[in-house]
Amino acid sequence: MTANRRFRSLQTLTAVTLAVALMGLTGCSSAGTPTADVGAGSAPKTGGTLRVGIVGGSAKDTLDAHAPVTHPDEARAIQLYETLASYDNDHKVQMALAEKITPSADAKTWTVRLRAGLKFSNGKPITADDVIFTFKRITDPKNPQAGATALAGLERDAMTATDAQTIVFPFTKPFATFTDIIAQYNAGIVPIGYDPKNPVSSGPFMTESFTPGQQSTFAKNPNYWRAGQPYLDKVTIIDFPDDTARVNALLGGQVDAIDQLPLGQVNVVQANPQLKVLESATGSWLPFTMRVDQAPFDDPKVRQAFRLIVDRKQMVDQVLGGHGTIGNDMYAPFDACFPKDVAQRNQDIDKAKQLLAEAGKSNLSVDLVTSAAAAGLVEAAQVFAQQAKAAGVTVNVKKVDPGEFYGDQYTKWTFSQDFWFTRDYLPQTAASGFTSSPYNETHWDDKEWNDLVGQANAATDQATRCGLIQKAEQIEFDRGGYIIWGFPNSVDAYTSAVNGFTPDKSGIPLTSFGFRNVWLNK
């Protein structure tokens, strides 16, 4: 994967430089619209319905802006809700609903200025009060949403609207990653009185129909702020927990595009002149998750042994068909502070056996819960089970459907897997690293690590922040609960009638721009 952050928002600049850099982003009405597949140079056409098959989904699907879990949830959220800032296809922070974001000199106070004339899909103006309502909803202590941990230092009751377009966000300490956090897809702006069962939209589309576990249809938002977009009249998102069914729907013309094309089908799709493959290098990752608070993974020696069992090259070659890069048990490889000098961890069966013996766990047998919730999960589980035999470990692969996988047991499985999209290190730690994080699937709770990450979040000096992040990454490398064997490319597919898709480093290139750039030739 190639580096995806030439502009690092608050993660590589001092607070003073940040103010200048962010002011340089003001007034970007195109908000970084990517260079797209324009279909033989044709101008965008308006109208039509795009039908998209998305991996996963279940009866627990949601339209809630601030609680997406599965791929279809995320796809829906991106259609419906716009954020204050966002990422372009190189994963660089850009303005979205905000026209200007300014930090104080100490990065403890952030002032956001909204674009003029913004409206929700029902015609109501998007105001500073709606933004305050949104962030109070996310950080509600009685019902915290997915982004609450990242905003733990926000003085939610002290947020103020100095006028209809200006919001002041005060924090208890310097908050160097503010723009990264408000650019996450789970920070979409909603109106005062928001009802997730009957949502009003700030994004390119608005809800027309929704059947959990099946499909949802979205109509063009006539009040969307980007001039001329979206081009489509409608988008229909169809849940496809089964890979074969999803591919067959594309081949048979039931859908116009699918995400996560099974790698064994790439050549089949490429051989069809009516179909195209969209491949994107990303910072996404498909970890094995070991609960550090439950046997046998409460022993660091067992966790170390399992990491040494993995043949990472075989994983990338066999599971991903070479469409990805080898991992080293550390996430956020595109972060400017990523510790690239840490020696690559390689398979070492003898050392794994030794560690298991020292832990009293020779001839260990464990259950590994997997699901076809993301491309490559089941295949990775099967390959790991084969690799583990050499160390005397029996891995019983237990495949469940996505609904069960992300049901009541999600984040509770002792040994399991998950998928994550591209994030820099500090936003990722907020999502998965703390006891208060919404998806702390390894039940990680390490005081030394907590302190380092807290200091890094407050550090406005790049060198200081990088030093802290690298120490925190080393701790996870040594004793964390993740096995991070590789970073898969995103491989999607669509028909030749579809235009506007572009490679995107987010990990969700098909949906990252809410289909607002897409148009049809038919």
Per-residue pLDDT, 37: 53
Per-residue pLDDT, 89: 83
Whether residue 443 sits in one domain with residue 310:
yes
Mean pLDDT of all residues in 309-333: 95
351: CATH: 3.10.105.10
Mean pLDDT of all residues in 81-97: 91
Whether residue 67 sits in one domain with residue 125:
yes
Q: Whole-model pTM?
A: 0.77
In-domain check, residue 240: no
Total domains in the chain come to 2
| Per-position b or e across 474-493, b if 16+ CB within 10 A of its CB | bbbbebbbbbbbbbbbbbbb
Mean pLDDT of all residues in 82-109: 93
In-domain check, residue 281: no
Mean pLDDT of all residues in 480-488: 97
Give the residues across from 111 on adjacent strands: 102, 168
Whether residue 188 sits in one domain with residue 50:
yes
* Alpha helix stretches (DSSP H) within 341-461: 349-358, 377-388, 402-405, 425-432, 447-458
Tens-place pLDDT, residues 333-366: 988 899 999 999 999 999 999 999 999 999 999 9
Mean pLDDT of all residues in 433-438: 92
Q: How far is it, in rounded angstroms, from Cα 285 to Cα 301?
A: 23
In-domain check, residue 235: no
Q: Is the pLDDT of residue 35 over 60?
A: no
Helix (H) or strand (E) holding 205: strand 205-211
CA torsion sign, 47 to 49 to 52 to 56? positive
Whether residue 425 sits in one domain with residue 358:
yes
State what percent of residues in the chain have pLDDT above 90.
75
Whether residue 496 sits in one domain with residue 354:
no
Nearest Cα residue to 471 out of 487, 444, 449: 449
pLDDT confidence bin for 243, thresholds 50/70/90: confident
State what percent of residues in the chain have pLDDT above 70.
92
Whether residue 456 sits in one domain with residue 377:
yes
pLDDT confidence bin for 145, thresholds 50/70/90: very high
Whether residue 479 sits in one domain with residue 400:
yes
- Which of 33-42, 382-391, 421-430: highest mean pLDDT? 382-391
Q: Is 177 helix (H, G, I), strand (E, B) or coil?
A: coil
Tens-place pLDDT, residues 258-267: 998 988 888 8
Q: Which amino acid is at 222?
A: P
C-alpha distances out from residue 42 to 386, 418, 447, 519, Å: 50, 40, 56, 10
Q: And the tokens for 347? A: 């398979």
In-domain check, residue 446: yes
Per-residue pLDDT, 334: 87
Phi, psi of 470 (to 5 degrees): -65, -35
Whether residue 382 sits in one domain with residue 325:
yes
In-domain check, residue 266: no
Tens-place pLDDT, residues 487-500: 999 899 999 999 99
Task: Work out the mean pLDDT of the chain and round it to a whole number.
Answer: 90
Whether residue 412 sits in one domain with residue 494:
no
Nearest Cα residue to 253 out of 492, 56, 495, 37: 495
pLDDT confidence bin for 6, thresholds 50/70/90: very low
Place of tokens 């996988």: 405
Whether residue 480 sits in one domain with residue 456:
yes
Mean pLDDT of all residues in 303-330: 96
Q: Is the pLDDT of residue 69 over 70?
A: yes
CA 309 to chain centre: 27
* Among the ranges given (123-132, 199-208, 499-508), the one the predictor scored with the smallest mean pLDDT: 499-508
Whether residue 476 sits in one domain with residue 329:
yes
pLDDT confidence bin for 41, thresholds 50/70/90: low
pLDDT confidence bin for 8, thresholds 50/70/90: very low
Q: And the tokens for 352? A: 């794994």
Range of the domain at 443: 288-488
- 39 or 338, which is more confident? 338
Whether residue 144 sits in one domain with residue 30:
yes
pLDDT confidence bin for 512, thresholds 50/70/90: confident
Q: How far is it, in rounded angstroms, from Cα 415 to Cα 434?
A: 18
Place of tokens 């000096």: 461
Tens-place pLDDT, residues 147-169: 898 898 999 999 999 999 999 99
